[in-house]
Amino acid sequence: MYKKSTIFPKPSGQSPRNLGRFFFPAAAWLLLLAASVSLAGARPTPTLVHTFSLPSGLAAKVHADGSLNINVGPSATPLLTSEILTLTNSRRNRGRVSAPFTSVVTEGSIGGQRGFSANCDDDGDGAVDEDFLDGMDNDGDGLVDEDFAAISDAMVVVHHDMSQGGDRAAHVEYYHWAYPHLRSTVFLAAKGNPGLSNGGTYRLVLGNQKWREASIGARRHDLAGKAESGRLNAFVAQPLRPNAAGTLAHAEPCDPGTRLWVGVVVLTESPRGRAVLDGGVLDLQLGEEAVAIAVCVAESWLQLNHMLNESAQVQAGITDKVTGKQAPWIVPPLCVHCRMSDAPEFSWQLDEDGDLLVNARISPDHNGALDPDLFHLAEAYLGAPHEILWQPDAGAAVVVPWICMNEGMLNRSHDLLSDPYAEMASLLDHGGSGNLRLSFVAPDATHLAAASEISGTYLSGRPFVAPFKTAPAPHPAADLGSVFVAEAQGAELLASPADQEQLLKNSSQRPTLSPQLLEGFPNPFSEVIRLRYLVPATMAEAFVWDEGEDPPIGLDLQAAVPWRGGAPNVSVKIYSISGQELVTLFSGNRGPGDGSVQWTGVDNFGRRVAAGTYFCKLQVDKWSVTRRIVYLR
C-alpha cells in the first residue's frame, strides 16, 4: 500500500524516474543527430594517392579528391594548392558521394600500351585507348581498363563516378616525367562533369601572391640539332620559397634560394579552357573534353620559360613522318649535345673593379646554353651577372647587359630577358668555340678561396658540376723606366699602346673624356631624348686637358687609344641628381664609332620617373663624361 511522504509528496502524472527514461535517450539522440549533421557538412581530410618528387626539395601531392598540393614538407605552408569545384557543393551530395577510383601506373603498363607501340591495341579489337582508366567497362566488351593510355613515368588517376552524384570533376589524370627538362613540371588532363551546366572548375591558389599573365618564349634543339623556337601565354608568379618550418618572411627578388617562379599553361585550345584571374586565385573552366594543363615550379625565369615551352612540345607529341600517325603525350627527344655534353672548363679572376669574372671555355663538345642566374659556389648562389660576353674564336665579340627578372618587370618586353643568347648563335649551335664570360659581384673572399667546384644548370634544366680554377695571371706591364728617362730628356718616344697607356696613367696632367663625345637632343625633353655617343679612335678625339695644361710629353695624339682588349667596355646610364643609378641604356664592348640610345623617362623597373634634372653618363673603360639633361612631364 502506498504511503504518503510528508517531506516529498507524490506529484501528479509521471514520476521523476519515468521522465528520465524518456529524457536521457532523447537528449542522446539529438546529440547524435547534431554530430551526424556536422560530420556530413565537414570535408574530410583527403587521402593521399601519390607524391611526385620535384627539384628544389619540393613535392607535389595528389589526393583522392583530385586536388594537388606543392610544398616542401608536411608541416610547411604549401607553395601552391588546387581543388576541383562545381555547382553541387552541398552537404547532401557530399554525404552521398561514393569513394573515388584511384590508380597509379607507369607508361607501358599492362593494358596501357599506346603511341607507336606494337601492342598499342591492348585488347586486339582494332580500337585504341577506348577504355580509359577509371575502374569501369567503358567499351562494353566485358573487360575493365584493358585498353587505355598509360602516360609518363608516373600517371595518377582520380575518377568520380558521375552516376553517384558528387561535387568533383568526373575524371582527372596527372602526369610526371623524370627527365631533367620536365621534372619541374606536373601535367594534368581533367574532364568536367557533363551533367553540370558549367562542367566544373580547376582552381589553383597561391595564397597572398598574385597571378600575372605573361608571354614567355624559348629556343630548343630537336634530335637532329635543328633550332626551334616557341612562344605562348602563361600565368606566372614569383612567390616566397617555403621551408620545412613555414614561409620565409623576407626574400630578395632575385635569390633562387628564397624565391621561386611558378607558371601555369593551358595546353588545349578550347572555349571551355577559359581562365579567370582573381589575385592569388586562378580558375580554369573544365568541360566534357579533357583540358590539358601544365604546372611548373622553377628556380629562375629562364628555367620557367624553357620548361613551359617544353610542356607544349610534350602535349603535342610526335608525328611519324612516314605514316603520318600522330601520338600525343610523347616526349620529343632533345639533341645529343643538349642531353649528354660535358660541362665547359671554368676559371675565375677578379677585375680592376673587384667583380668576379667567371670564364667558361666552350668547344663543339660542350653545351653553351648556361642559365646565368643559377651558378652556385661554396654553398651559395652567385646571383645574377650584370654582363654576359661571348668571344668566339672566329668573329666579333658580343656583350649583353643582364638584368635579373622579377615580378615588377613582367610588363616589359621579354625578348632579351627570355633569351640572353639571342645574338650568340655560334655559342648555341654546338659547333662554335670561344670564351663565355659572366661578370658577377664578387662573393666573400673566404668562399671564393675555398671553392674548388662550380655548379649550375643548363637552360634545358640539366644540372652540372665542374672544377673551378683560378685563371692565369695577366702578363705584367712593360718596364717603362727608360720611357720616363727619355721623357725627362725630351726625346721622342715610341708610340706603343703600352707606352701610351702608361703615359696617360702616370702623368701629372690628368685628362678627361671630351664632352663632345656625348650629346642629347632635345634637351629639355618631355617624351623621349635621343643620346648620341662616340667611341673615339684617337687620343685627340678622346681626351681634353684642363685649361693651361698640355698633354704629357711623348703622347702621340694621333695614336689609337689604348683600350683594354682592343674594344672598350662602353655603358650609357642615367643617374638621379643624388647619384642613384636609374637605368642602363647600353652596356657592352664597342669599337670606335658612333652609337645612339633613347630614354623615355623610365627606370630599370619600367617605372616613370618624376620631372626634374638627371645626369647621363658615358663610361668608356675607366674614363667617363657626364651630361645634364632635364625631363619635363
Tens digit of each residue's pLDDT (9 = 90 or more) over 518-574: 999 888 888 899 999 988 888 788 888 766 566 666 566 777 777 766 678 899 999
3-class DSSP string for 333-365: CCCHHHHHCECCEEEEEECCCCCEEEEEEECCC
pLDDT at 589: 86
pLDDT at 299: 92
Q: What percentage of residues in the chain have a pLDDT greater than 90? A: 29
Beta strands per DSSP E along 119-180: 154-159, 171-176
> Comparing 92 with 368, which gets the higher pLDDT?
368
> Comparing 163 with 267, which gets the higher pLDDT?
267
Q: Which of residues 334, 350, 375 is at a domain's end?
A: 334
In a domain, 123, yes or no: no
- What one-letter code names the amino acid at 473? A
> Comparing 241 with 574, which gets the higher pLDDT?
574
In a domain, 126, yes or no: no
Q: Which residue has the cell 558521394?
A: 97
> Comparing 73 with 65, which gets the higher pLDDT?
65
pLDDT at 137 over 70: yes
389 and 519 share one domain: no
Instruction: Give the least confident one: 155-164, 406-415, 485-494.
Output: 485-494
257 and 364 share one domain: no
pLDDT at 275: 86
489 and 586 share one domain: yes
193 and 212 share one domain: yes
> Comparing 208 with 630, which gets the higher pLDDT?
630
In a domain, 133, yes or no: no
Instruction: Give the least confident one: 81-90, 475-484, 528-537.
Output: 475-484
Q: Identify which of 24, 170, 209, 23 has the alpha carbon closest to the alpha carbon of residue 84.
A: 170
pLDDT at 128 over 70: yes
**CA–CA gap between residue 535 and residue 539 (Å, rounded):** 11
347 and 453 share one domain: yes
Tell how many helices (H) and how many strands (E) occur in the chain: 9, 37
User: With contact defined as beta carbons under 8 Å apart, do 314 and 232 qualify?
Assistant: no
pLDDT at 37 over 50: no
3-state helix, strand, coil in the chain (%, to 5): 15, 35, 50
Instruction: Give the least confident one: 6-10, 226-230, 517-521.
Output: 6-10
Q: Which domain holds residue 624?
A: 481-631
Confidence of residue 476 (pLDDT cuts 50, 70, 90): very low
**CA–CA gap between residue 484 and residue 99 (Å, rounded):** 93
pLDDT at 413: 55
Q: Return the C-alpha cell found at 254.
A: 632575385
Q: What is the CATH number of the domain that holds 538?
A: 2.60.40.4070
The CA angle 621-624-628, to the nearest 5 degrees, is 150
In a domain, 132, yes or no: no
In a domain, 124, yes or no: no
pLDDT at 125: 87
pLDDT at 130: 85
Residue 498: strand, helix, or coil: helix
Q: Return the C-alpha cell found at 523.
A: 634637351
pLDDT at 491: 32
Instruction: Give the least confident one: 92-106, 239-253, 426-440.
Output: 239-253
In a domain, 70, yes or no: yes
Instruction: Give the least confident one: 427-436, 492-501, 551-560.
Output: 492-501
231 and 278 share one domain: yes
pLDDT at 294 over 90: yes
pLDDT at 95 over 50: no
Model's pTM, two decimal places? 0.68
328 and 377 share one domain: no
369 and 447 share one domain: yes
Q: Which of residues 407, 435, 470 is at a domain's end?
A: 470
Confidence of residue 243 (pLDDT cuts 50, 70, 90): low
81, HSE (Cβ side, Cα atoms, 13 Å): 11
In a domain, 37, yes or no: no
pLDDT at 86 over 70: no
**CA–CA gap between residue 273 and residue 351 (Å, rounded):** 53
Q: Return the C-alpha cell found at 66.
A: 583530385
User: With contact defined as beta carbons under 8 Å apart, do 418 and 229 qualify?
Assistant: no
Backbone φ/ψ region at 182: left (φ over 0), alpha (ψ -120 to 50), beta: alpha
Instruction: Give the least confident one: 53-67, 465-479, 495-509.
Output: 495-509
284 and 345 share one domain: no
Q: Return the C-alpha cell found at 230.
A: 616557341
Confidence of residue 2 (pLDDT cuts 50, 70, 90): very low
Q: At what angle do helices 481-488 and 497-506 cross, to 10 degrees?
A: 70
**CA–CA gap between residue 221 and residue 306 (Å, rounded):** 12
56 and 72 share one domain: yes
pLDDT at 600: 92
Q: What is the mean pLDDT of the chain?
A: 79
Instruction: State mean pLDDT over 499-514.
Output: 60
In a domain, 191, yes or no: yes
Q: Identify which of 467, 441, 443, 444 has the alpha carbon closest to the alpha carbon of residue 455.
A: 467
Q: What is the pLDDT of residues 349-402, one digit of tens each?
A: 988 778 899 999 999 888 899 999 999 887 788 888 888 999 999 888 888 888
User: With contact defined as beta carbons under 8 Å apart, do 299 and 260 qualify?
Assistant: yes
431 and 492 share one domain: no
pLDDT at 97: 56
Q: How many domains does the chain have?
A: 3
pLDDT at 309: 93
User: With contact defined as beta carbons under 8 Å apart, do 82 and 235 qualify?
Assistant: no
Q: Which residue has the cell 638584368?
A: 403
96 and 228 share one domain: yes
Instruction: Give the least confident one: 69-83, 163-177, 384-398, 464-478.
Output: 464-478
Q: What percentage of residues in the chain have a pLDDT greater than 70? A: 76
